[in-house]
Amino acid sequence: MRTAGLILCTTLLALPAAALGQDSGAEAAINDGAVAWATAWNTGDAAALAAQYSADAVVMAPGAAAMEGAEAIEAGLTAAIEGAGGSQMAITPDEIIPVGDDHAIEVGTFVETGADGSHKDHGKYLAVWAKVDGSWKIVRDIWNSSM
């Protein structure tokens, strides 16, 4: 009886551990996402950039009102790429906090280098990720310059 009870406890306790997000795949997805984001920016591919966001995402860029929804985000990112003059972005996720099975918080840093190789900007960001229809998407994104 004692053994049976213990097995039952162990089984039941294993479930919440998985629900805590240890196996949610968030970390791998977010690390891949950071690479994909930078690659899309660096190749001027606004559609690929926008594809990282959920349909109802909110992007909070400095110096402007928030962009709400996929259409506004793609338009805003297209304008940002055009205004950046071929700058190159390096993105480093410094911290990934899984929250349950389908959310995660990412905190990281970015460095933007001008097309001429000059240091253009560096700063930090916070992205909230959610698993939407089985794939990880950015649902909220905010950053600022550290300069």
Partner 1 sequence: MRSAALAVCAALLMFPSAVLGQADPDAQVGVKEGGMAWAAAWNAGNAAGIAAQYADDAMLLPPEGDAVQGRAAIEAFWQGAMDALPGVTVKLETRELHNLGDVAVEVGSFVNTGADGEPVGHGKYLVVWMLKDGTWQMARDIWNSSMGQ
Question: Considering only residues 46, 128, 136, 137, which one is a binding residue for partner 1 as defined by CB under 8 A?
Answer: 128
Q: How many CB atoms lie within 10 A of CB 12?
A: 9
Contact (CB, 8 A) for 119 and 113: yes
**Smaller CB distance to partner 1: residue 63 or 117?**
63
Q: Could you tell me the smallest distance in angstroms from the CB atom of residue 61 to partner 1?
A: 7
Residue 7 binds partner 1 (CB under 8 A): no
Site string for partner 1, 28-67 (x = CB under 8 A): ------------------------------x-xxxxxxx-
Burial of residue 127, with CB atoms counted within 10 A of its CB: 0-12 exposed, 13-18 middle, 19 or more buried: buried
C-alpha 34, offset from chain centre: 7
Strand partners, 75: none
Which residues in the 88-117 window bind partner 1 by CB under 8 A?
A: 97, 99-100, 103, 105, 107
Tell me the C-alpha distance between 11 and 7, whole Å: 6
Contact (CB, 8 A) for 138 and 117: no
Residue 83 binds partner 1 (CB under 8 A): no
Footprint on this chain of partner 1 (rule: CB under 8 A)? 1-2, 4-5, 8-9, 12-13, 16-17, 19-20, 58, 60-66, 97, 99-100, 103, 105, 107, 124-126, 128, 140, 142-147
